[in-house]
Copies of this chain bind each other. A is one copy, B any other.
Amino acid sequence: MQPVKRIEIILDFQDLAKIVKILNSLGISGYTVIRDVTGSGDRGLRPGDELTDVFKNSYIMTACPEEKMQEIVEAIRPLLKRFGGICLVSDAQWVIH
Contacts and interface: CB of A to CB of B under 8 A. Distances in A.
Interface string A64-97: 0000000001001110110000111111111101
B86 A30 contact: yes
Contact of A91 (B1, B32, B90): B90
Q: Copy number of this protein in the oligomer?
A: 3
Interface of A is mostly: strand
Contact of A81 (B1, B8, B10, B97): B97
Interface string A19-35: 01000000001111111
A30 B34 contact: no
A29 to B, nearest CB: 6
A84 to B, nearest CB: 9
